[in-house]
């Protein structure tokens, strides 16, 4: 669940909101928040697809990653 996205960070730029629930990243299910950085590490990938549930509706959003490959 998104708790406090960094202002102007990748989650904020992707439009993720407090309370959004992350279901999947980079095509695979997320088994917990601690697995998110590993799921998003894809070498030269600059954008990752996230499956998100907001208000009971599931959608896919594209999240830009930092140039260094780190996620915020």
pLDDT averaged over every residue in the chain: 81
User: How far, in whole angstroms, is CA 35 from its chain's centroid?
Assistant: 11
> Distance between CA 25 and CA 48 in Å, rounded?
7
Q: What's the predicted TM-score (pTM) here?
A: 0.74
SS (H, E, C) 19-62: CCEEEEECCEECCCHHHHHHHHCCCCCCEEEEEEEECCEEEEEE
Mean pLDDT of all residues in 1-28: 88
All domains of the chain, ordered by start, with CATH? 10-64 (2.30.42.10)
Q: In this prediction, what percent of the chain has a pLDDT beyond 70?
A: 82
* Strand, coil or helix: 12: helix
């Amino acid at each position: 669940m998104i708790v406090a996205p960094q202002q102007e960070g990748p989650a904020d730029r992707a439009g993720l909101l407090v309370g959004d629930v992350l279901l999947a990243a980079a095509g695979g299910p997320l088994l917990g928040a601690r697995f998110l950085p590993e799921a998003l590490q894809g070498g030269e990938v600059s954008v990752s697809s996230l499956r998100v549930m907001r208000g009971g509706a599931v959608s896919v959003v594209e999240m830009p990653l930092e140039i260094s490959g780190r996620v915020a």
